[in-house]
Amino acid sequence: MDLTDLGRIQRVVQPAWRGSAAETFLPVLKIAAADPEALVAVFPRSQLTDSEARFMSQVTKAVAAATTRPDLPVVIGTSPPSADVGCAWIEPGEEIDGLESYAVRAVRRFVPRPSPAEAVALWEGDGLVNTGIVVAKARTLITLGLRHLPDVLEAFEPLSAAFGTPEEALLSEAVYEQMPYAAVAHALYVQTCEVGVLPVTNVRMWRDRATPAPAVAS
């Protein structure tokens, strides 16, 4: 996805790699410090699509849904072209009360590493590929992080008071020396009741694996 059209871009650079949890929560915490009511969209890595306009219209729908239900992160799931065991999958449930107009559904289960038989069953059913693209209130994501990845969020506490100050860069290096390795999936894709899924059926997507870093837009 080309995010250059969003306006002013602020780059957040990590001093070291400590997994997808730290690289996601660092910009989310910075955004929340500037605007406690901010709504964010997390793109885990560069996403390619055969129709960016159609796909971004679905992201807009996810934004509206997350605004309606600020307690519920909305992950985008796409229809799979095949029974790919290399993808993380979502088995959707019923539409969520109050979000029917956005077609957001509950999550019956997350399947991060399907067996060949599971992938075929999901593909032949209504299974969705988990794009990892999430739209949510920043504070909602932080709450999930505190609940499921407390070590990561607690490691960031000394840095939170230094955002935007000359001391931020040096303190960030010290914080990352003690930062535990963790995957953001351990916060977002743990309890099915904590996340909704927006199915996108008319767009094909794939990842540009040459671009590992996430983008977080508010």
Can you list the alpha helix ranges (DSSP code H) found in 12-85? 20-34, 52-68
Nearest-10 crossing angle of helices 20-34, 138-148 = 140
Query: In CATH, what number is assigned to the domain containing residue 83?
Result: 3.90.550.10
User: What domain range includes position 27?
Assistant: 4-217
pLDDT in tens, 18-77: 999 999 999 999 999 999 999 999 987 655 555 567 778 888 999 999 999 999 999 999
- Nearest C-alpha neighbor of 150 from the set 174, 179, 173: 179
Amino acid 111: pLDDT: 94
Name residue 22's beta-bridge partners.
none
* 97 DSSP 8-state letter: T
- What does pTM read for this prediction? 0.86
Number of domains in the chain: 1
3-state percent helix, strand, coil for the chain, nearest multiple of 5: 40, 20, 40
Does the pLDDT at position 86 exceed 90?
A: no
> Range with the lowest mean pLDDT among 81-85, 90-94, 95-99?
81-85
